[in-house]
Amino acid sequence: MTGFRKLLTLAVTGLSLSLGMLAGSADAQEKLKLATEGTYPPWNYRDPSGKLVGWDVEIGFALCERMKVECEFVAQEWDGIIPGLNAKKFDLIVASMGITAKRKEQVAFSNAYKDTISKFVAKKGAVKDTSVDGLAGKRIGVQRGSIQHDFLTKTYTKSDIAVYDKTTDVELDLLSDRVDVMLQNKLTSFSGFFKKAESSGYEFVGPDLKGGLLGEGSGIAMRKEDTQLRDRVNKALAEIIADGTHEKISAKYFPFKLLEN
């Protein structure tokens, strides 16, 4: 009888340890580390106390709440953000990352959580027609290597394309009348160029441009093998879009929708 009790005790102890290990494993799976760049307001940046804040951060925490997981945001420089993900330093990239064919070779993406919208900017009343023929002979400023640069080079073949290393350089030449019009991300113009006093005489012109050469929008990146996590993120994303949480967060930063349902 004593031997049986010992065996029973050992069995119960082993079961308890196994359950404890399983519980610990489950807890570990329910804690996710999210990476963002932390240097680009209003998307992701640090407040005066050093805390990571911004649109991406709010969206990330909303998704975590729906997935019922504990999340932590960490800052990561852009050049190392995909290598850091694949090295398992964090689990998700929530940093307004554009979905491109090249990046799809390295990571998996959620469904788009923000449209990539490009738009022309010009002096008020100076440009009425932004079609290929409408801008024929015009000098268009754009950032080198951007999706807008590729789009203009392949589409606006009748225009003079002026290329700059930084978006701020494009803006300076627009203000100095060295270019007739500029093309960049609509949200970049809104949160940067149009916040300057000297831009009061300028306006968005033409329709919103997106899709095709201008990209598939921005998505949340994860490791390719994390297929279950991708499904959970997509489910949570659909939920915050459907119940208005996504639009409510976006309205804190912009007077227009960031994602067309």
Task: Kindly write down the DSSP assignment for every residue of 86-151, as one continuous string.
Answer: HTTS-SEEEEEEE--HHHHTT-EE-S-SB---EEEEEETTT-S--STTTTTT-EEEEETTSHHHHH
pLDDT band with cut points at 50, 70 and 90 for residue 79: confident
Beta bridge partners of 219: 97
In this prediction, residue 101 has a pLDDT band, given cuts at 50, 70 and 90, of: confident
Q: Which two tokens stand for residue 185?
A: 């991300």
Give the position of tokens 């004593």: 2
pLDDT at 8: 47
Confidence of residue 261 (pLDDT cuts 50, 70, 90): low
The mean pLDDT value for 154-169 works out to: 94
CA distances from 169 to 149, 161, 164, 174 (A): 14, 14, 6, 9
Domains within the chain, CATH numbers bracketed: 29-115+216-251 (3.40.190.10), 118-214 (3.40.190.10)
Residue whose C-alpha is closest to residue 181's, from 125, 122, 260, 107: 122
Dihedral sign for Cα 215, 220, 221, 227, please.
negative
For residue 205, give every residue at least 6 positions away whose Cβ sits within 8 Å of its Cβ, in sequence order, or none. 119, 120, 121, 122, 127, 128, 130, 181
